Amino acid sequence: MEAKNVKGTRDILLNETGGFRTIENILTQICGLFGYHELRTPILEHSEVFARGVGEGSDIVRKEMYTFEDKAGRSVTMRPEFTAGIIRSFIQNKMHIEAELPVKIFYHGPAFRYERPQLGRYRQFSQFGVESIGSSSLYNDAEVITMAYTMLASLALNNVTLKINCLGDKESRDNYREALKKYFEPHLDNMCPDCKERFRLNPLRILDCKVEEDKILAKDAPKIKDYLSASSLERFEKIKSALRSNNIPFVEDDQLVRGLDYYSEIVFEFAYVSKTGKDYGALGGGGHYGNLMKELGGPDLPGVGFSFGVERLFDILVDDGILEAKTSPVDIYVMPLGDEAKEYALNIANRLRVNGFATDMCFDDVKLGAMIKRALKKGASFAVIIGEDEIANNKLMVKNLKENVQEEVSSSELITYFNNLYMKSRGGCSCGRDCSVDCADCSCDNNCSGGNNNE
């Protein structure tokens, strides 16, 4: 039987990994600009980190976690999200004592949820997100939303819809929960089994239900904004004002509750429908959390964070033609003609690589035409052809595959030859400096205006 991947998982293929890395690099750069540092926590955590952190009432904890007993009988869970694990690490490593608050953390990696696989929804997926922990300032919340928006803009995703809502402080939510219970109770018999349990554990979750009848019912449910305390309302207004003055457009959505129980005050989500009309679901979202740290046994410190789904970002960027799914091409393809030329060719290929040129070589005894086809498939711009005569004379044939012309180059001149060729397109020599501006005070070994000291 042919082995298959586990349902709901996805191989990120050779022509996709470059795009994933590009996205992660761009987001990492933005993290640097906002003063965030990366934290890497384990995929495995004690199950109670999520039960207490994400909340017993959330769908994630109720039915989506990959939980099992390890060989010593301890219940462990493969993280369904990052925030609870990050807060666990924050507390355990006493970051509130050692570091200046807020501690600004970013993370990325795989997360696991046993959900029904569909477009944009996997059982293993990657998240990239941030947490800013230890400041109750509303401007910390506003900055984090600004950061998420900046990240999407840097990925050229400008047509996103930022939805925001306020869940209020604990008192506001307790009052609201009671109002929701009163409203839904008479309809309970007709509601889906999940909502019956949500009613018992956390009625706010009912607003998130995807079952059509329950969605219709939820539309006329009491609105959170009528239950917000004066301080929560004022905080929400001030965050909105900060977003407006930063030119960040948003819409208010009083149905937005998010799937995790730890949120309080502001929550937000980014929606985007690709140009092809495909709806992959939310690109990402997050919010403020007031009690999570205390729930996990730490000090009474709030936090705010968000996370993006990297698969969704990638698929949308490819769909919209912003990113191309392709393997990166090599610069040069080395073609030994005959077995004797292979060792010499391996040498040449390595010399090219050491000098910064992405180089591949042909190992098979195939005709020159077949080698050229392979070179073109790999996206090479140049081929270096090496036969017996070339070795005897220390002269190599360099073929420009795009222009279909070739010329002889002495082996000792090869690196200089390519450096000169690539100087314009790369804006400098293989050392990364711009030789067309000034070579004189460059410390690299390449003497680009002639000769090459690396040879």
Residue 375, C-beta contacts closer than 8 angstroms, at least 6 positions apart: 333, 335, 383, 401
Question: Applying CB under 6 A, which of residues 45, 143, 265, 311 lies at the interface with ligand AMP?
Answer: 311
Q: Tell me if 319 contacts ligand AMP by CB under 6 A.
A: no
Q: For ligand AMP, which stretch binds (CB under 6 A), given 158-166, 235-243, 283-291, 386-394?
A: 283-291
Question: Applying CB under 6 A, which of residues 89, 140, 307, 411 lies at the interface with ligand AMP?
Answer: 307
Question: Applying CB under 6 A, which of residues 24, 115, 253, 319 lies at the interface with ligand AMP?
Answer: 115
Q: At closest approach, how far in Å is the CB of 311 from ligand AMP?
A: 5
Work out the widest C-alpha separation in the chain, in whole angstroms: 93
Site for ligand AMP in 40-99 (CB under 6 A): 81
Nearest residue to ligand AMP, scored by beta-carbon proximity: 309
Cα–Cα distances (Å) from 422 to 396, 428, 448, 453, in that order, read 18, 7, 11, 18
Q: Which is nearer to ligand AMP, 113 or 288 (CB)?
A: 113
CA distance 123 to 376: 38
Q: How many residues bind ligand AMP (CB under 6 A)?
A: 18
Give the residue carrying structure tokens 């329950």.
214
CA distance 282 to 120: 9
Question: Applying CB under 6 A, which of residues 51, 207, 283, 386 lies at the interface with ligand AMP?
Answer: 283
Q: For ligand AMP, which stretch binds (CB under 6 A), given 97-105, 118-126, 244-252, 364-372?
A: 118-126
Q: Tell me if 122 contacts ligand AMP by CB under 6 A.
A: yes
Question: Applying CB under 6 A, which of residues 52, 113, 163, 173 lies at the interface with ligand AMP?
Answer: 113
CA distance 85 to 396: 57
Give the residue carrying structure tokens 């090479």.
380
Query: What is the identity of the amino acid at 346?
Result: L
Strand 332-336 versus strand 359-361 pairing type: parallel
Q: Tell me if 285 contacts ligand AMP by CB under 6 A.
A: yes
Q: Which is nearer to ligand AMP, 287 or 428 (CB)?
A: 287
Residue 403, C-beta contacts closer than 8 angstroms, at least 6 positions apart: none
Q: At closest approach, how far in Å is the CB of 131 from ligand AMP?
A: 12
CA distance 384 to 342: 12
CA distance 424 to 98: 49
Task: Find how far residue 273's CA is from the centre of its chain.
Answer: 18
Q: At closest approach, how far in Å is the CB of 157 from ligand AMP?
A: 12
Q: What six digits make up the tokens of 12?
A: 């990120």
Task: Find how far residue 448's CA is from the centre of its chain.
Answer: 39
Q: At closest approach, how far in Å is the CB of 268 from ligand AMP?
A: 10
Q: Which is nearer to ligand AMP, 289 or 308 (CB)?
A: 308
Burial class from Cβ neighbours inside 10 Å (0-12, 13-18, 19+) for residue 426 reads: middle
Q: At closest approach, how far in Å is the CB of 53 from ligand AMP?
A: 12
Q: Which is nearer to ligand AMP, 270 or 357 (CB)?
A: 270
Q: Which is nearer to ligand AMP, 286 or 290 (CB)?
A: 286
Question: Applying CB under 6 A, which of residues 121, 225, 374, 378 lies at the interface with ligand AMP?
Answer: 121
Residue 223 is classified by DSSP as P
Q: Which is nearer to ligand AMP, 281 or 451 (CB)?
A: 281
Q: What single string gives the DSSP state of each residue in 101-144?
A: SSEEEEEEEEEE-----BTTB-SEEEEEEEEEES---HHHHHHH
Question: Applying CB under 6 A, which of residues 19, 53, 259, 305 lies at the interface with ligand AMP?
Answer: 259
Q: Which is nearer to ligand AMP, 283 or 341 (CB)?
A: 283
Q: Which residues bind ligand AMP (CB under 6 A)?
A: 81, 113, 115, 120-122, 125, 127, 259, 282-285, 307-309, 311-312
